[in-house]
Chains A and B, each alone.
Chain A
C-alpha cells in the first residue's frame, strides 16, 4: 500500500498568517495516464471532509484562492495564506492513483 506521510501533526497559526502542510508518498503518484491523483481536504469538527484541492493544484469550486497546492512525484504541499477562522480544522491528503487509495494521518490547524 502507498503510505502517505503528512506533516506536521499539529500546526499552530495566527489569524492572518500562513500555513504549510506537507504530504509525502512512499511511491510516485503519477498514474499511467500521466495524471497525478493527489488531493487535499479540510474536515471541520462534526462534518464530513470537504474537497479543497484536486490533482495537486486545482482548486475545487468555491475554494478561496488563499488555498494553493503544489508538488510532483512523491512530494506535495498545501499552503494557506491569510488564515481565517473558518480554515481551522483537520487537513488530509489523499492519493487515488494506486489501490488501495490512502489518506495521510491528518494535520490539525489550530490557533496559536
Chain B
C-alpha cells in the first residue's frame, strides 16, 4: 500500500536550515511526484513545492529563494531543505504523493531559540 512518512528535527533555531526527509513505499519516485505542504498551528495549508517523477522541481515563489527539494530514488526518499528559518516557519510539514492523493502523517517543526 502507498505510504509516506516525514522525519526530521522537531526544533530548529532561527536563521538555521531545516532538513526534512519523506520516505515513501508502495510506489516509485520515478513514476510519481512528491509534494511538500505545511500548516502553521491553527491555520490553513500552504503548498511549498514538488519534485516530479522526472526529477524536475517547482517551488512556491514565496519560498523559492530559501527552498530546495531533492530525492534519492534508490532509497525512496525525498528531501526538503529550507534555509534562514524564522519563527513564522513553525508549522506541521506534510509530504504527499502527486497528485495529492496520499499524505504522510506530518512532522511538527518549531523554530525557536
A interface residues, Cβ below 8 angstroms from B:
1, 37, 39, 41, 47-51, 54, 60, 92, 94, 96, 99-106
Q: List 22 A-B contacts (CB under 8 A).
A: A1-B61, A41-B100, A48-B96, A48-B104, A48-B105, A48-B106, A49-B103, A51-B101, A54-B99, A54-B100, A96-B100, A99-B58, A100-B47, A100-B59, A100-B61, A100-B62, A101-B35, A101-B47, A103-B44, A103-B45, A106-B44, A106-B45
The A interface, classified by DSSP as helix, strand, loop or mixed, is: loop
Q: Which A residues are CB-close (under 8 A) to B45?
A: 49, 92, 94, 103, 106
A105 to B105, CA, bound (A): 20
A32 → chain B, closest Cβ, in Å?
Answer: 16
| B65 sits at the interface (CB 8 A) | no
- A-B contact number at CB 8 A: 46
With A48-B105, A48-B106, A105-B44 as known contacts, state yes or no: A100 contacts B99, CB within 8 Å.
no
A102 to B37, CA, bound (A): 10
With A48-B103, A51-B101 as known contacts, state yes or no: A102 contacts B94, CB within 8 Å.
no
A49 to B101, CA, bound (A): 9
A36 to B96, CA, bound (A): 20
A43 to B107, CA, bound (A): 15
Which residue of chain B is the closest to A103 with respect to CB atoms? B45
| B46 sits at the interface (CB 8 A) | yes
With A48-B105, A99-B58 as known contacts, state yes or no: A39 contacts B47, CB within 8 Å.
no
A55 → chain B, closest Cβ, in Å?
Answer: 9
With A48-B105, A48-B106 as known contacts, state yes or no: A102 contacts B47, CB within 8 Å.
yes
Q: Which B residues are CB-close (under 8 A) to A99?
A: 58
A103 to B39, CA, bound (A): 11
A37 to B62, CA, bound (A): 22
Q: Are A60 and B101 in contact (CB under 8 A)?
A: yes
A78 to B103, CA, bound (A): 21
A48 → chain B, closest Cβ, in Å?
Answer: 4
Q: Which B residues are CB-close (under 8 A) to A1?
A: 61
